[in-house]
């Protein structure tokens, strides 16, 4: 296949023959530089198999003439210093690393290697610099020894055994010419075995700060300004095998100019160890101490790596707004489960009745759970406009938090409301959505993705909630473009600032993603959390298009948010828009 041919081309190239004649390369896989996979142990991806091989064939074609022509027009050509920490020689695995560096299509690089001398030959190239240490140092000391050799404006981390795509540095320079203020760069990645076979493609989202606190999704190829790293103090002792993660967290404390290249520019050795999750958790704790003094981590009960927790303000009262359309049996289940399973005490239930008879009113006025009752708002006999209903109820609430909840939901996790409030109380966060399941355990909602089916949709909808989805993204707190209004928490001040739900353009459909996108346009984050779980008794017979079943609303949403639909920052352009499973996209999509 195309991958095997590409690998064979490297192996039989002049560069490869030179390396063999030199007797191999010096150093290779060891505990130094073996950072472990960027993918958490709990988030294994189903093997895309032939889908990914077809994606490679369809989208990784090269045009040498076009690349050389574009290189000749670059006005910004900063040197990139690749640094590799090494110890204990194992030449076989490093040969491919060396070939991938020497075979780069652009030459603005130097390679800095540091570690204990192995006695093996080093390729004779003026761009390769070495620092052999006489004693066995600590992990950070080896990284810093390589960093001290660097003279380039940018630093790239490369572990022994890792392979750079032939045009990796070209694409980095291309980005830096388009966006010269960039401080940190990362790319997509996959894994490669000894035979050159590639698998496990990780097509990553753009910069996602909350996802980064849940897992080191950046991993792989990481570049950053050398001056920025110097200001952060270089590599830090005590970070163990999580040196890359630790430094990245300290870098992003100093800059927001972080860019993602949606190309597979790095091939991770398939025989790499798993990440040291405890070391990763410790560096996240250190980051939280530096930036959020009251935040902490704890083990993740949902199968993730760890969970970041935040304090809840003392005045964090929540108005839970439930629009009721007349189905008293569903409403009764919703309220009973809400009262029985919610361990967060600071809330009121606000029921707004848009039915056509007296059944909901009779039920609401007679319902109680201990001392808790329902505040009833009469909005009967009026035309159904979901946005208006929610806005009317919100205007009659004085709580600092609003939670919009469908009457066809039922609480699963007792701390669901506290979980949402602690995230929503953060000043940078505007909206928080929950994990919603169908009664049979299939996923109903773990975030809304723009561009699915030409508009937007629920990624992973209908998949088994008992199995991790694409790289475990359903099981971690992460940044998303939108969340469903079936269980949506928003600070009241943010709701008012964004203008509430749009009653004119989106009376029934598309009002929730529209509101989330307007909140994001104000500079706030929209988050999904897996730790607030509910059942949602939405009809499972509905198609994926039912979210925008009304043509006028669907057209209005697509017109208002056309650019966002084309480019959801939290969903890779390399993934399909015609299904919810995050499989590689196909030619013609």
With contact defined as beta carbons under 8 Å apart, do 506 and 520 qualify? Answer: no
Q: What is the dihedral of CA 564, 248, 531, 491, to 10 degrees?
A: -60
What's the predicted TM-score (pTM) here? 0.90
Alpha helices in 297-383 (DSSP H): 328-341, 359-366
The whole-angstrom separation of Cα 98 and Cα 102 is: 6
- Residue 115: the pLDDT is 86
How large is the average pLDDT for residues 532-559?
Answer: 72
SS3 assignment, position 514: helix
pLDDT grade, residue 121 (50/70/90)? low
The phi-psi region of residue 393 (left if phi > 0; otherwise alpha if psi is between -120 and 50; otherwise beta) is alpha
The whole-angstrom separation of Cα 272 and Cα 162 is: 10
With contact defined as beta carbons under 8 Å apart, do 520 and 526 qualify? Answer: yes
Does pLDDT of 33 surpass 50?
no
User: Any idea which architecture 318-566 has in CATH?
Assistant: Alpha-Beta Complex (3.90)
- Residue 194: the pLDDT is 87
- Residue 16: the pLDDT is 37
Does pLDDT of 92 surpass 60?
yes
The residues near 73 (Cβ < 8 Å, ≥ 6 apart) are: none
- Residue 132: the pLDDT is 85
The whole-angstrom separation of Cα 291 and Cα 294 is: 9
The whole-angstrom separation of Cα 196 and Cα 406 is: 51
With contact defined as beta carbons under 8 Å apart, do 316 and 400 qualify? Answer: yes
Does pLDDT of 48 surpass 60?
no
Residue 8 CA: distances (Å) to CA of 2, 12, 197, 345, 490: 10, 6, 11, 64, 55
pLDDT grade, residue 46 (50/70/90)? very low
Q: How deeply is 340 buried, as exposed, middle or buried, from its count of CB atoms within 10 A (0-12, 13-18, 19+)? A: exposed
- Residue 14: the pLDDT is 43
The whole-angstrom separation of Cα 578 and Cα 544 is: 10
- Residue 117: the pLDDT is 67
What is the rounded average pLDDT for all residues in the chain? 88
Sign, CA dihedral 396-402-408-409, equals: negative
- Residue 24: the pLDDT is 35
Model pLDDT for residues 350-406, shown as the tens digit of each residue: 999 999 999 999 999 999 998 899 999 999 999 999 999 999 999 999 999 999 999
Does pLDDT of 52 surpass 50?
yes
CATH of domain 2-298: 3.90.550.10
The answer to whether the 2-298 and 318-566 domains have the same CATH topology is yes
- Residue 158: the pLDDT is 95
Does pLDDT of 463 surpass 80?
yes
The phi-psi region of residue 471 (left if phi > 0; otherwise alpha if psi is between -120 and 50; otherwise beta) is left
Share of the chain above pLDDT 70, in %: 87
Q: How deeply is 535 buried, as exposed, middle or buried, from its count of CB atoms within 10 A (0-12, 13-18, 19+)? A: buried
Model pLDDT for residues 257-272, shown as the tens digit of each residue: 999 999 999 999 987 7
Q: Which of 15-24, 192-201, 570-579 has the highest mean pLDDT?
A: 570-579
φ/ψ of 102, rounded to 5, equals -65, -20
Sign, CA dihedral 168-281-427-446, equals: positive
Tokens standing for residue 566: 């084309």
Domain ranges of the chain: 2-298, 318-566
- Residue 308: the pLDDT is 97
Say how many CA atoms lie within 13 Å of 576 toward its Cβ. Answer: 18
- Residue 354: the pLDDT is 95
With contact defined as beta carbons under 8 Å apart, do 268 and 220 qualify? Answer: yes
Of residues 88 and 340, more confidence is placed in: 340
- Pick the closest to residue 492 from 310, 376, 319 (CA basis): 319
- Residue 303: the pLDDT is 59
The whole-angstrom separation of Cα 228 and Cα 543 is: 49
- Residue 35: the pLDDT is 53
Of residues 301 and 357, more confidence is placed in: 357
With contact defined as beta carbons under 8 Å apart, do 155 and 149 qualify? Answer: no
- Residue 356: the pLDDT is 92
- Residue 123: the pLDDT is 80
CB atoms within 10 A of CB 551: 9
SS3 assignment, position 170: helix
Share of the chain above pLDDT 90, in %: 76
- Residue 341: the pLDDT is 97
Q: What is the dihedral of CA 89, 33, 472, 195, to 10 degrees?
A: -30
Of 100-104, 130-134, 243-247, 532-536, least confident by mean pLDDT is: 130-134
Q: Which of 26-35, 298-307, 567-576 has the highest mean pLDDT?
A: 567-576
With contact defined as beta carbons under 8 Å apart, do 89 and 26 qualify? Answer: yes
β-strand partners of 432 = 489, 527
Of 97-106, 297-306, 312-321, least confident by mean pLDDT is: 297-306
- Residue 26: the pLDDT is 36
The whole-angstrom separation of Cα 525 and Cα 378 is: 33
The whole-angstrom separation of Cα 403 and Cα 492 is: 9
Does pLDDT of 581 surpass 90?
yes
Q: How deeply is 255 buried, as exposed, middle or buried, from its count of CB atoms within 10 A (0-12, 13-18, 19+)? A: middle
pLDDT grade, residue 165 (50/70/90)? very high
- Residue 138: the pLDDT is 84
With contact defined as beta carbons under 8 Å apart, do 31 and 86 qualify? Answer: no
Does pLDDT of 30 surpass 60?
no
Does pLDDT of 27 surpass 90?
no
How large is the average pLDDT for residues 489-504?
Answer: 98
Does pLDDT of 547 surpass 80?
no
- Pick the closest to residue 139 from 116, 110, 162, 111 (CA basis): 116
β-pairing verdict for 525-536 and 478-479: antiparallel
- Residue 22: the pLDDT is 37
What is the enclosing helix (H) or strand (E) of 463? none
- Pick the closest to residue 304 from 488, 536, 39, 483 (CA basis): 39
């Amino acid at each position: 296949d195309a991958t095997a041919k590409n690998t064979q081309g490297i192996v039989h190239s002049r560069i490869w023959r030179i390396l063999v004649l030199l007797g191999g390369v010096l150093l290779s896989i060891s505990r130094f530089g073996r950072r472990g996979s960027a993918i958490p142990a709990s988030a294994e991806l189903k093997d895309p198999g032939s889908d990914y091989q077809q994606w490679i064939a369809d989208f990784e074609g090269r045009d040498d003439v076009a690349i050389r022509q574009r290189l000749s027009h670059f006005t910004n050509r900063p040197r990139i210093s690749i640094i590799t920490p090494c110890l204990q020689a194992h030449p076989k695995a490093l040969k491919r690393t060396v070939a991938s560096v020497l075979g780069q299509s652009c030459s603005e690089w130097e390679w800095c290697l540091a570690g204990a001398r192995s006695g093996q030959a080093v390729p004779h190239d003026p761009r390769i610099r070495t620092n052999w240490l006489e004693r066995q140092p600590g992990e950070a000391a080896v990284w810093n020894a390589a960093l001290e050799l660097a003279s380039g404006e940018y630093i790239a981390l490369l572990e022994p055994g890792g392979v750079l795509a032939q045009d990796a540095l070209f694409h980095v320079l291309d980005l830096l010419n388009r966006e010269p203020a960039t401080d940190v760069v990362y790319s997509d990645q996959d894994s490669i075995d000894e035979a050159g076979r590639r698998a496990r493609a990780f097509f990553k989202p753009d910069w996602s700060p909350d996802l980064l606190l849940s897992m080191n999704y950046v991993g792989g190829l990481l570049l950053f300004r050398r001056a920025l790293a110097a200001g952060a103090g270089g590599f830090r002792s005590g970070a163990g095998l999580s040196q890359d993660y630790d430094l990245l967290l300290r870098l992003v404390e100093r800059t927001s100019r972080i860019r993602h290249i949606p190309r597979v520019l790095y091939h991770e050795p398939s025989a790499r160890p798993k990440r040291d999750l405890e070391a990763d958790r410790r560096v996240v704790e250190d980051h939280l101490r530096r930036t959020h003094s009251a935040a902490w981590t704890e083990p993740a009960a949902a199968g993730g790596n760890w969970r970041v927790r935040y304090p809840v303000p003392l005045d964090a009262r929540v108005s839970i707004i439930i629009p009721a359309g007349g189905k008293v049996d569903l409403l009764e289940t919703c309220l009973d489960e809400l009262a029985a399973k919610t361990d967060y005490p600071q809330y009121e239930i606000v029921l707004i009745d848009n039915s056509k008879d007296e059944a909901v009113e009779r039920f609401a006025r007679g319902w109680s759970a201990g001392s808790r009752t329902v505040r009833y708002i009469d909005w009967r006999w009026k035309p159904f406009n979901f946005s208006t209903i929610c806005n009317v109820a919100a205007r009659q609430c004085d709580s600092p938090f609003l939670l919009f909840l469908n009457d066809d939901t039922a609480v699963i996790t007792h701390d669901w409301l506290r979980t949402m409030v602690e995230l929503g109380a953060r000043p940078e966060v505007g909206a928080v959505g929950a994990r919603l399941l169908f009664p049979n355990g299939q996923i109903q909602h773990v975030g809304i993705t723009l561009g699915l089916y030409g508009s937007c949709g629920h990624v992973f909808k209908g998949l088994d909630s008992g199995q991790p989805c694409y790289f475990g993204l359903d099981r971690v707190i992460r940044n998303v473009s939108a969340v469903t209004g079936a269980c949506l928490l928003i600070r009241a001040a943010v709701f008012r600032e964004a203008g509430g739900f749009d009653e004119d353009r989106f009376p029934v459909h598309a009002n929730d993603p529209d509101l989330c996108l307007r909140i994001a346009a104000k500079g706030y984050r929209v988050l999904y959390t897996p730790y607030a779980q509910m059942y949602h008794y939405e009809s499972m017979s509905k198609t994926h298009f039912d979210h925008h079943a009304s043509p006028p609303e669907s057209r209005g949403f697509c017109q208002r948010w056309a650019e966002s639909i084309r480019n959801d920052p939290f969903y890779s352009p390399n993934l399909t828009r015609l299904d919810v499973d995050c499989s590689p996209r196909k030619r013609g999509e």
